[in-house]
């Protein structure tokens, strides 16, 4: 069961990265540093605000109507917007500042959310030791395959997340790069931000 939980977490992380992080930060005309600084702040605020109060419409606006990454999660019996509402129901943030250095930038943010690593590890252990749930999961898989089984697991994850008051706050400096007039997160900046959004979760260990 723990391996299934790890796979489920990876799927959720991938979707959140696609929706919340893989958006371009369109550069202002003129390219002055102060314009780019405000642009990055504005676009970060827009993305974080969407995650705090996700709707299908706001997510479409953020991703440019491309919901393909969200649609992938449906194969696991999970509704994407419902998932985001649970995962970010206690999410909060501040944008502390942005520094521009040519085509490089650093955005400093402070993010609060539940301690996902603690909550999900405990949930996985509880489910693995719950014979009644294990029987239900086996029955769900027998009758409805992978989708039915994952849906059951995610429902338990949601309950644990909703009931958790184990909040953690992380400050992170996010690296960005400007290419062809557009600001995007660097590969490392994206990883750092995703980890902070999930309470410091080390996804590389999954």
157 belongs to a structural domain: yes
| 205 part of a folded domain | no
Please report where in the chains the tokens 């290419």 appear, as a residue. Answer: 179
Give the integer Cα–Cα distance in Å for 23 and 192.
Answer: 16
In a domain, 206, yes or no: no
Give the 3-state secondary structure of residue 114. strand
Task: List the end-to-end C-alpha distance of the chain, in Å, as a whole number.
Answer: 14
Tens of pLDDT, residues 38-89: 989 988 888 888 888 878 777 766 665 555 666 677 777 778 778 888 888 9
Regarding pTM above 0.85, the answer is no
pLDDT digits (tens, 9 = 90+) for 133-165: 888 988 998 999 888 888 888 898 899 999 998
Pair 31, 86: CB distance under 8 Å = no
Mean of the per-residue pLDDT values for the chain?
80
Domain assignment present for 155: yes
Number of domain units in the chain: 1
- pLDDT for 31 equals 56
CB 136 within 8 A of CB 152: yes
């Amino acid at each position: 069961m723990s391996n299934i939980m790890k796979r489920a977490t990876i799927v959720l992380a991938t979707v959140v990265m696609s929706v919340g992080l893989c958006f371009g930060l369109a550069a202002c005309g003129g390219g002055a540093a102060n314009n780019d600084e405000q642009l990055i702040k504005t676009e970060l605020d827009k993305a974080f605000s969407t995650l705090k109060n996700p709707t299908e419409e706001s997510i479409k606006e953020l991703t440019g109507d491309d919901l393909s990454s969200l649609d992938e999660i449906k194969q696991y019996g999970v509704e994407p917007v419902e998932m985001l509402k649970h995962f970010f129901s206690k999410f909060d943030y501040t944008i502390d500042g942005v520094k521009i250095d040519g085509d490089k930038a650093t955005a400093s943010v402070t993010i609060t959310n539940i301690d996902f690593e603690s909550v999900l590890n405990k949930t996985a252990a509880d489910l693995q030791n719950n014979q009644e749930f294990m029987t239900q999961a086996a029955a769900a898989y027998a009758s409805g395959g992978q989708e039915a089984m994952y849906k059951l697991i995610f429902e338990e994850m949601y309950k644990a997340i909703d009931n958790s008051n184990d909040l953690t706050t992380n400050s992170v400096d996010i690296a960005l790069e400007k290419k062809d007039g557009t600001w995007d997160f660097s590969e490392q900046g994206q990883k750092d931000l995703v980890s902070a959004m999930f309470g410091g979760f080390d996804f590389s260990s999954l």
